[in-house]
């Protein structure tokens, strides 16, 4: 089953129900930690928080990319 973030749904298909909220998941994290969670819409494999509390998304071979560069 595919999972889609709230942010992806708001941008691409507002009628579609979301499975999780990137910001809520990131808020639960301590700095320098991550959680494995897949968003089929954006294509990321994890959500992380840097030591200075920046939210990043993990894209496998492309590495970690800042949340603000993906969710505009």
Per-block mean pLDDT, blocks of 10 residues, the chain (72 long) = 91 96 97 97 97 97 97 89
3-state class of 3 per DSSP?
coil
Q: Are 55 and 47 in contact (CB under 8 A)?
A: yes
pTM for the complete prediction? 0.93
In terms of Cβ atoms closer than 10 Å to its own Cβ (0-12, 13-18, 19+), residue 28 is exposed
pLDDT recorded at residue 72: 84
Cα–Cα dist 13/27, whole Å: 24
43-47-52 Cα angle (round to 5): 135
pLDDT recorded at residue 63: 97
Residue of 72, 33, 71, 69 lying closest to 51 (CA atoms): 33
pLDDT recorded at residue 6: 97
Domain boundaries defined on the chain: 6-70
């Amino acid at each position: 089953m595919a999972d889609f973030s709230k942010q992806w749904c708001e941008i691409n298909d507002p009628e579609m129900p979301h499975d999780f909220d990137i910001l809520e998941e990131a808020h639960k994290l301590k700095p320098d930690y991550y959680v494995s969670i897949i968003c089929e819409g954006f294509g990321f494999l994890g959500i992380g928080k840097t030591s200075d509390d920046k939210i990043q998304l993990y894209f496998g071979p492309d590495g970690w990319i800042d949340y603000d560069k993906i969710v505009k």
